[in-house]
Chains A and B, each alone.
Chain A
Amino acid sequence: MPTPTLLQSIAITLIQCVLVVLFVFVVVPLTVFAERKVLGYLQQRLGSTRVASGHIGVTGWMNRGMWKWGRIPVLSYWRGIPGLVADVLKLILKEDIIPAKADKFVFFIAPAISMVSAVVVFAAISFVPGTFFVFPSWFPGLAGLPVAGGIADINVGLLWILGVASVGVYGIVLAGWASNSKYPLLGGLRSAAQMVSYEVPLAISLLAPVVLTGSLNFSEMAQRMATGLSAWGLVPQVLGFLIYLTCGFAETNRLPFDMPEAENELVAGFHTEYSGMKFGFFYLAEYINMTVVSALAAGFFLGGSWLLPFGLQGLVNHLLPADAWLAGPHAIFFVAKIVFLLFTYIWVRGTIPRYRYDQVMSVAWKYLIPLALVNLLIAAFVRCAV
């Protein structure tokens, strides 16, 4: 393998960034679409099937085309896809209203903070350990160079993830504050309390993998959690996974913990006064955060890029030949797990009601934090015993 020149490493890094951002911006709209369709089917309706009000012009052409293709059974599910394009166009083209009494600068940067902190987390997430693919020898300029499975597989990956992700709460709090309106203010206050509270059990539940693996590097942790533990590692993994997932739901403001934007109480919560692409940023940030939480859960608890979750891969790997395809890591497994967890988000939303604000807090402090500490203790025992 040739040593890359400076220019080549820059190019490779850029390619990695583009790949990851591409992944995010493909998965997020599809999640939005899946939310409509899955909720629809959960509720015995069809979800979105067309672009609204489109029987003439471009949208009419799209609708006719989609309905034609939709006659093929499997494709009928995708009939609503043009609606996504229409939605994005609407968000971009819509008038961007800034309330007269708003704090303009803060109002402006709040959605950017939410969005950036959500995307930047992906820097430390590696989709597959080591090399993702190697450029073929005919490729001009980059022949034979490897592209890694993540942007920056740094040794303090988990710290980076937790640190940057917790900046996201500022976006919401500042949005609530800067709108200079009462419902957003209530939403902002709720989110400040809620997200700060839930970060504690979330971080503690992620400490268990740290204790078990003795590392903070994402891909190393994922690898050890998937393949390097004994059967005893199963207990802290399952318990930790449940705690982590609960906190993740709260961190991303999804039902049953969608306090900051509880529609039926606070109209739209912190983003009530936002419109146009600024609102679009919050909207995107929520879905990107869901993807982040799913990616971490997949990486640490569900076996990362290996097939089996909860470290079971390590238990069965010695039964497989060392070079078996199923024994190794593959990005497709990682993505499949993320997709499944995203589905879980929608599934839960379709099933259960919303907690009350004080109950949300008591769930965090009275149940999740003690449980997370017990989980950490179990992890420590497992670590010492093994």
Chain B
Amino acid sequence: MFKNEEMEINLGPQHPSTHGVLRVKLRLDGETITHCKPVIGYLHRGVEKICENQSFFQGQVWTDRMDYCSAVANNLGWAEANEKLFGITVPRRAQYIRTLLNEFNRLASHLIWLATHALDIGAMTVFLYAFREREDILDMNEAFCGSRLTTTAFRIGGLREDLPPGFEKMARKFLAKFPTCLEEYENLLSENRIWKKRTVGVALLSADDAIALGVTGPVLRAAGVPYDIRKAFPYAAYSEMDFEVPTQTAADTYARYLVRMAEMRQSARIIQQCLDGLPEGPVMAKIPKILKAEVNEVYHATEAPKGEIGYYLVGEKGSANPYRFHVRAPGFINLQSLPKMAEGGLIADIVAAIGTLDIVLGEIDR
């Protein structure tokens, strides 16, 4: 008597909550998602190929433009991958400053995640509160390297310049107020019944599935796997830092929220340690004006705010350009888990799932 028809609907590429130009093809039975297929590529610029045609120094500019919310973390991975390729040792002070800026960047990235995720679920005030704090971090970026978003913060071999005068004061001022800001967000969300209803048990991704799909970062840690490259394979100055890797076992959106909030606290802790223990010395290693590679290949992974960002570089003998460059982008690989999270849920859940994955399309499409 009744005919059941499934409706196909395009979520994106122009949609308020697909964080840029993600397009998700949904098949709906009523409001239930029966089939979900992410379609990407709307922001593809060929970053990897472009970098192969440029010198090692120039490539970093492009890493800024991959995950533009965490440019510093991308810069760090790029710089360290190159240093690994050329066997350069970075001065200890530069390592500390890199760690410091990287953690500030993690805060900025997580704040953007919190802001947009909360806005997707309808809590619009958190959005602006989080952006308020992010503004301070961007100001610090500006003080350090002149630009706020696409930082190009580091150089192969160290830093272009030391921290500017007054930076430490700005950082300490920020650290002093940041815990109360975190409490403010948590007051609005953590025990909010509607927030919990929208996130607890939503977009589940078990640890086995997460590992099978290659998911990393807070999404993996929220499934109970304490894998953090900062601890597992320490880089920069992380081996000298005292911090914890927050995990949860519920593997749902709420667990990921808790993990990221805890990570922000840990980041603040690391920044505090960097500021307190900042060693004296030069910030740049001695490197030649033009870097010419040997036949060599490296893979260097760092813990970006969104997960493991890996740079694979192949050098060609006598060439100033990389022969092959590939990025293991955390957002791209994490996005694979979207159908697993969203299928069987409602339309409102896919919005939560996209938000909780913390995707940036610049990095996914590259």
A186-B128 in contact (CB<8A):
no
Chain A residues within 8 Å of B118, by CB: 353
Other-chain residue from B121, B128, B349 in contact with A353 (beta carbon distance below 8 A): B121
B239 interface contact, C-beta 8 A: no
Given A182-B7, A359-B197, answer yes or no on A267-B122 (Cβ-Cβ < 8 Å).
no
B351 interface contact, C-beta 8 A: yes
Chain A residues within 8 Å of B31, by CB: 186, 190, 357-358
A351 interface contact, C-beta 8 A: yes
B343 interface contact, C-beta 8 A: no
In the assembled complex, how far is the CB of residue B19 from the closest CB belonging to chain A, in whole angstroms? 11
Instruction: Give the complex CA separation of A357 and B124 in angstroms.
Output: 18
A265-B125 in contact (CB<8A):
no
B124-A43 in contact (CB<8A):
yes
B119-A264 in contact (CB<8A):
yes
Stretch touching chain A among B39-47, B65-73, B188-196, B226-234: B188-196
In the assembled complex, how far is the CB of residue A227 from the closest CB belonging to chain B, in whole angstroms? 37
Q: Give 4 closest A-B pairs by Cβ, nearest first.
A: A354-B122, A43-B128, A353-B123, A264-B17
B122-A351 in contact (CB<8A):
no
A44 interface contact, C-beta 8 A: yes
A265-B132 in contact (CB<8A):
no
B347 interface contact, C-beta 8 A: yes
| 6 residue pairs from A and B, CB less than 8 Å apart | A43-B128, A190-B31, A264-B122, A354-B123, A356-B198, A357-B346
Other-chain residue from A44, A182, A262, A358 in contact with B122 (beta carbon distance below 8 A): A262
In the assembled complex, how far is the CB of residue A270 from the closest CB belonging to chain B, in whole angstroms? 15
Q: Give per-residue flags for B108-134: 1 if the beta carbon is below 8 A from chain A beta carbons, else 0.
A: 000000000011111111011100100
Instruction: Give the complex CA separation of A349 and B126 in angstroms.
Output: 12
A352-B132 in contact (CB<8A):
no
Most A CB contacts (10 A, CB to CB) among B9, B31, B122, B194 go to B122
Chain A residues within 8 Å of B132, by CB: 44
Chain A residues within 8 Å of B124, by CB: 39, 43, 349-350
Closest to A255 in B: B122
B146 interface contact, C-beta 8 A: no
B194-A355 in contact (CB<8A):
yes
Instruction: Give the complex CA separation of A61 and B348 in angstroms.
Output: 45
Chain B residues within 8 Å of A263, by CB: 16
B125-A43 in contact (CB<8A):
yes
Say which size band chain B's interface belongs to. Answer: 20 to 34
A355-B198 in contact (CB<8A):
yes
Give me the interface of A with B, judged by CB distance under 8 Å. 39, 42-45, 182-183, 186, 190, 255-256, 258, 262-267, 349-359
Q: Give per-residue flags for B208-231: 1 if the beta carbon is below 8 A from chain A beta carbons, else 0.
A: 000000000000000000000000
Chain A residues within 8 Å of B17, by CB: 264-265
B198-A354 in contact (CB<8A):
yes
Chain B residues within 8 Å of A267, by CB: 15-16
Within 8 A of A (CB), among B148-189: 188-189
Chain A-chain B contacts (Cβ-Cβ < 8 Å), number: 82
B346-A358 in contact (CB<8A):
yes
In the assembled complex, how far is the CB of residue B102 from the closest CB belonging to chain A, in whole angstroms? 28
A186-B120 in contact (CB<8A):
no
Given A43-B129, A182-B7, A182-B9, answer yes or no on A262-B195 (Cβ-Cβ < 8 Å).
no
Other-chain residue from B9, B188, B346 in contact with A351 (beta carbon distance below 8 A): B188
A354-B347 in contact (CB<8A):
no
Instruction: Give the complex CA separation of A255 and B195 in angstroms.
Output: 13
Chain B residues within 8 Å of A44, by CB: 128-129, 132
A262-B125 in contact (CB<8A):
no
In the assembled complex, how far is the CB of residue B133 from the closest CB belonging to chain A, in whole angstroms? 11
19 other A-B residue contacts (CB within 8 Å) besides A43-B124, A182-B7, A352-B194: A39-B125, A43-B125, A186-B347, A256-B122, A262-B122, A262-B348, A263-B16, A265-B347, A265-B348, A266-B347, A350-B124, A350-B125, A352-B122, A353-B118, A354-B348, A356-B348, A357-B347, A358-B31, A358-B346
Chain B residues within 8 Å of A353, by CB: 118, 121-123, 189, 192, 194-195, 198
Other-chain residue from A45, A256, A262, A354 in contact with B128 (beta carbon distance below 8 A): A45
Other-chain residue from B15, B121, B127, B348 in contact with A357 (beta carbon distance below 8 A): B348
In the assembled complex, how far is the CB of residue A36 from the closest CB belonging to chain B, in whole angstroms? 13
Instruction: Give the complex CA separation of A358 and B349 in angstroms.
Output: 11
In the assembled complex, how far is the CB of residue B9 from the closest CB belonging to chain A, in whole angstroms? 5
Instruction: Give the complex CA separation of A182 and B198 in angstroms.
Output: 24
Closest to B349 in A: A356
Instruction: Give the complex CA separation of A359 and B120 in angstroms.
Output: 16
Given A264-B351, A265-B17, A357-B31, answer yes or no on A352-B128 (Cβ-Cβ < 8 Å).
no
Most B CB contacts (10 A, CB to CB) among A266, A354, A355, A359 go to A354
Instruction: Give the complex CA separation of A202 and B58 in angstroms.
Output: 65
